[in-house]
Amino acid sequence: MTEAGEPLRLRVGSELAGGRTDAVLAELLELSRTRVQKLLDAGAVEIEEATGSSRAPRKSEPVVEGWIFVARVPPPETTRLVPQDLPLEIVYQDRHLAVVNKAAGMVVHPAPGHPEGTLVNALLHHLQDLSGVGGRLRPGIVHRLDRDTSGLLVVAKTDTAHRRLADALRARRVKRLYQALVWGRFADAERTVDAPISRDPRDRKRMAVVQGGRRAVTHLRVREDWPAAQLLDVALETGRTHQIRVHTAHLGHPVVGDAVYGAGGARGISGPARRWADDLERRVTRQFLHAAELAFAHPITGAPEHFEAPLPQELATVVEWARPLRR
């Protein structure tokens, strides 16, 4: 995990206490659980006891607040990814990091079914260096956006920047503000959702609010109020998979255009607003979710960094159409 391959000491905070060792390590190390399990099998991770001794943890062992893991992670394998000259908007870059504005439809990193054409392939073409902390298939990737979500991502170009940005994310020192269009209308202008998220027990390809899942907190604020939908500002306190989409759908107000959690949203609208809702559904050509704002302290200099990305044209056009019809 370090440039010199030195052991990395990781302290378990209260928010991770009680989780499985392999799952907690996967989050702390920003690695896949499969890779973490291989490290555990190889004896590359130990728990540092208060007495100064150490022991090897079990994969399924519940972690305890205050534990210190000592992890020895080998350097990542040489990437076999192919740099591709794909369109990529680089908002900012220096020798430590880059901020990009990802287009909707682009997968962040290679995965089954998406071996190329990803953001990583584009980064390898457009940037000279990427950190290796993310592993062979995720070089430089500190956090992700869903395939059909557009907007801002920070990418690490050095391992030190990667570790510090990942630490800032875990400590909730990175501001991530999204714009989302959701079906229906919330009664309150502001609302906080604190509901745990895990794999949907009925469909493992989906996420859901599940008792005993990982804590997930989302802050919602109504930005614009329309006849059958609302444009929201959404701030993430945590960063679970599909968090915004799952939380809004759980409240009965799924993201417009979300084929997984909000398909057929117009059917839930009745009365005079139904025709407007049908028209909106035809106009929204993809998931209406955009990472509009990103702010953090620079991982090396400590200087405050703040970036904004306007709605892409296909979403901005919908907003302009809806505005004259606002109540």
Q: Report pLDDT digits (tens) over 101-138.
A: 999 988 887 766 666 778 888 888 888 777 665 555 56
Three-state DSSP at 250 gives: helix
Segment 220-224 shows an average pLDDT of 97
Euclidean distance between CA atoms 272 and 30, whole angstroms: 49
List residues bridging with 9 in a β-sheet: 70
Query: Are the beta carbons of 95 and 157 closer than 8 angstroms?
Result: yes
Lowest mean pLDDT among 176-190, 253-267, 291-305: 253-267
Q: Is 258 among the catalytic positions? A: no
Segment 184-201 shows an average pLDDT of 92
pLDDT for the residue 4: 39
Q: How far are the Cα atoms of 105, 266, 280 from residue 284, in angstroms, in the given order?
A: 14, 12, 6
Tokens at 23, concatenated: 């799952």
Q: Which one is catalytic: 41, 129, 146, 159?
A: 146
Segment 69-92 shows an average pLDDT of 80
Cα atoms in the Cβ-side hemisphere of radius 13 Å centred on 134: 23
- Give the pLDDT band of residue 5 (cuts 50, 70, 90): low
- Give the pLDDT band of residue 139 (cuts 50, 70, 90): confident
Query: Are the beta carbons of 79 and 119 closer than 8 angstroms?
Result: no
pLDDT for the residue 299: 95
| Helix spans in 212-272 (H) | 243-250
The pLDDT tens digits of the residues spanning 234-280 come to 999 998 999 999 999 999 999 999 999 988 778 878 888 899 999 99
More confident site: 108 or 148: 148
Dihedral pair phi/psi, residue 90, rounded to 5°: -95, 110
**Side by side, which strands form the sheet with 8-11?**
8-11, 68-71, 45-48, 54-55
pLDDT for the residue 113: 65
Q: Which residue has the tokens 């190889």?
A: 42
Three-state DSSP at 281 gives: helix
The pLDDT tens digits of the residues spanning 149-175 come to 999 999 998 889 998 999 999 889 999
pLDDT for the residue 138: 62
More confident site: 10 or 257: 257
Q: Following CA atoms 152, 158, 161, 166 in sequence, which dihedral angle do they give, to the nearest 10 degrees? A: 70
239-244 own/partner pairs: CB under 8 Å, 24+ apart: 239/143, 239/169, 239/176, 240/197, 240/207, 240/214, 240/216, 241/197, 241/207, 242/146, 242/197, 242/206, 242/207, 243/197, 243/207, 243/216, 243/218, 244/178, 244/180, 244/218, 244/289
pLDDT for the residue 132: 60
Handedness of CA 109, 46, 173, 133 (dihedral sign): negative
pTM for the model stands at 0.75
Statement: residue 1 has pLDDT above 50: no
Query: Are the beta carbons of 242 and 207 closer than 8 angstroms?
Result: yes
More confident site: 109 or 58: 58
Rg of the chain over Cα atoms, rounded to whole angstroms, equals: 21
pLDDT for the residue 109: 76
Lowest mean pLDDT among 39-43, 137-141, 162-166: 137-141
